[in-house]
Amino acid sequence: MRRSTIIRVASLAGVILVSIVLALAPSASTASWSHCAAGSDVADKGGVRGLFVAGANQTNPMVVTAEKKFLLNDKTICGANLVIPWSAIDRGPDAKPRYNWSFLEKAAAPWEAAGKIVNLIVWGTDEVIYNEVNRYGEECPVDIIDGPDSCHSATPRYVLATTKTVNCGRKAGTEIPVYWEPGYEKPWRAFQAALVAHVANDSDIGYIRFGLGTGGEDFPSTGFEEGRCSEQWTTDGLTAARWLRWSISQVKYEASLHSNHPLNVGIGSFPGAPTLPERVATSAARHNMGFGFQGMTVDQIHLDESNPALCYAGWCHLFKTWTGHVPLEIQTLAPTDPGGEGYTGALPPLSNVVTKAHAQVLELYPQEWLVADDPEWPTYKMYHQEYARVLAQAASEIGGQAGIK
């Protein structure tokens, strides 16, 4: 078959796939929150749209203090992504009440008071990144700093005590449960249902992203494919086929909750499962859920321009397929470097790619706005004008609060 014929057949297949999925999808939800500037080039015109602060409660105290001083009133910001560890809410089956929502309410309060929307990134397990200390000087997962379950896994202790876990040689207290074991799956899904019900009438909540795997993403744990970690996961039954089944089953379960807030999933990659991201994205779209990825870097820019087939988790292709059909989201892997160094690169080229990809939500780390807004920030003097310009431009194209044009 000639190349031109192959391309036409592939394009037709893509159109048929989208048409079938849209025919099966439920009608778009009607949300009551005040979203940022609406646009005609997005899938959910009445839904969550704009620039959000990634990991707003997942950073060190110095940045949190600067956030409250400079970011709450920045009109280019629609709101914040809050990391909600399961263990910060669920006190166990014998507790009365079982679910204590004060962690979520406290984290959301300053943003809601400033008229911002908060998206909930709900962690069932940790990404196991150790680079901060809590108020007692103890090293902790960065998502739990000063939380009610400080220095403990995002998975509740009672779950870790009653189900199989994988440790991968890390410190005690950083075990990852085996996801498909009933001891994890049943209480995790019960918590998901409880959270959806708890926020059902909260107009300050934007979208909810439950982690299909670790953190808010779709893989088992950091480094799961390496050395001793890989051996432990394999011993406990992890295969590419099993992870695909687990991910799809999670998407279907979330859809069954009938949340009146949009649900979003993070696509990821898995060795030996090349169809994983496409099948997860398609399943999410079939249930009128958005999807995105949390790893935009300068390398992804180059791949998008030169070799889209190698883009992480196939996002280049998937975004083109689903633009205008479901809400799309992009988050940078880490804070950018204004000088263009490092893995993530500088903000301007990243912002341009996100705009061209028709993402409905762009999630950036607090440091981007601190470069633009905080005169005491180390790179403010040299780069604040450029970063302020880029953020305003992104807000005008993707979405910003009233007054940003």
**How far apart are the C-alpha atoms of 181 and 227, rounded to whole Å?**
23
Helix (H, G, I), strand (E, B) or coil at 263: strand
How many independent structural domains does the chain possess? 1
Does residue 15 lie within any of the structural domains? no
Residue 119 region by backbone torsions, left for phi larger than 0, else alpha for psi between -120 and 50, else beta: beta
**How far apart are the C-alpha atoms of 47 and 32, rounded to whole Å?**
9
Domain containing residue 71: 32-398
Does residue 150 lie within any of the structural domains? yes
Helix (H, G, I), strand (E, B) or coil at 210: strand
Handedness of CA 234, 235, 236, 241 (dihedral sign): positive
320 CB neighbour count, 10 Å cutoff: 12
Please tell me the predicted confidence (pLDDT) of residue 41: 57
The CATH number of residue 273's host domain is: 3.20.20.80
Contacts of 101 (CB under 8 A, 6+ apart): 89, 198
Does residue 1 lie within any of the structural domains? no
pLDDT tens, the chain, 405 aa long: 333 333 333 333 444 444 444 444 433 333 333 457 655 556 666 578 899 999 998 777 788 889 999 999 999 999 999 999 999 999 999 999 999 999 999 999 999 999 999 999 999 998 754 434 333 344 454 444 344 344 568 899 999 999 999 987 656 557 899 999 999 999 999 999 999 999 998 989 999 999 999 999 999 988 899 888 899 999 999 999 999 999 999 999 999 999 999 999 999 999 999 999 999 999 999 999 999 999 999 999 999 999 999 999 999 999 999 998 899 999 999 999 999 998 999 999 998 888 888 898 999 999 999 999 999 999 999 999 999 999 999 988 887 654 343
Does residue 363 lie within any of the structural domains? yes
Question: Phi and psi dihedrals of 52, rounded to 5?
Answer: -130, 150
Please tell me the predicted confidence (pLDDT) of residue 151: 54
Does residue 17 lie within any of the structural domains? no
Please tell me the predicted confidence (pLDDT) of residue 172: 57
Does residue 13 lie within any of the structural domains? no
135 CB neighbour count, 10 Å cutoff: 10
**How far apart are the C-alpha atoms of 174 and 167, rounded to whole Å?**
7
Q: Which residue has the tokens 């409660």?
A: 57
Residue 288 region by backbone torsions, left for phi larger than 0, else alpha for psi between -120 and 50, else beta: left
Q: Output the pTM of the full model.
A: 0.87
Does residue 26 lie within any of the structural domains? no
**How far apart are the C-alpha atoms of 359 and 226, rounded to whole Å?**
32
